[in-house]
Copies of this chain bind each other. A is one copy, B any other.
Amino acid sequence: MPDGSKTDRPRTRIQQRNRDLIAEAALEVFSTHGFRGATLDNIASEAGLSKPNLLYYFPSKEAIHTQLLSTLMDTWLDPLRALDAQGDPITELLAYVERKLEISRLYPRESRLFANEIVQGAPRMLTSLEGELKDLVDEKVAIIRDWADQGKIAKVHPYHLIFSIWSLTQHYADFDVQVRAVLGGEEPFDEAPAYLREVFLKLLTP
């Protein structure tokens, strides 16, 4: 049995491949059915493996889910990490919006995985939210507050500014079905970038 601890790399190519297959399948299934709605049989067949074989690589359903979440948390925070205190304030913030929207477009399943978890009260993620996430946000909020104090951007509530960026960008991934149902045939991501740019440009211009 392979060592299940997260720290050590898989030793063989087969392990690497199958762990990747499982992660990919689990992302697909968890993101469309939620934790409770996903079954090991679903994930197994999506991955092209048998159920006992899944459990050869991961000790439990919960473990697969947990690994997915913690892997993705980093990816999720990257765009915000890139917000640079040295850059031009408005350019930096608009670039953040753009990066975040692009990620929603490219990785909607990851977005929905988080959405599922958070909407249901984040039972398996609360410590992450209160830890890494809050720390990073606090740090960037300080930068935004400085910019506002120096008159480089409009005086907006920095926490709510960040919430609104998350909200507006992730909406296109998380509520994709609704957006498409309302738009009919039109492709949401054609217009979204320009629209969001306009929103935040108007909001932030002093």
Chain A residues packing against B (C-beta within 8 Å)? 32-37, 112, 115-116, 118-122, 126, 129-130, 133-134, 137, 154, 156-157, 159-160, 162-164, 166-168, 171-172, 174-175, 177-179, 181-184, 186, 191-192, 194-195, 198-199, 202-203
Contacts and interface: CB of A to CB of B under 8 A. Distances in A.
B134 A159 contact: no
A129 B182 contact: yes
A116 B122 contact: no
Copies in the complex: 2
Chain A facing B: main interface SS: helix
B126 A177 contact: yes
Given A118-B174, A164-B195, 8 more contacts: A33-B36, A116-B116, A159-B182, A159-B191, A163-B172, A163-B182, A199-B203, A202-B202
Contacts of A116: 34, 116, 119-120
A171 B181 contact: no
A36 B162 CA distance: 32
A121 B191 CA distance: 22
Q: Which 7 A-B pairs have the closest CB atoms?
A: A36-B37, A167-B171, A129-B181, A160-B195, A130-B181, A202-B202, A122-B177
Given A119-B175, A199-B164, A157 B191 contact: yes
Contacts of A129: 177-178, 181-182
A147 B120 CA distance: 39
A191 B155 CA distance: 14
A131 to B, nearest CB: 9
Contacts of A154: 202
Contacts of A119: 112, 115-116, 119, 174-175
Nearest to A115: B119
B177 A121 contact: yes
B37 A120 contact: yes
Given A119-B112, A199-B203, A171 B163 contact: yes
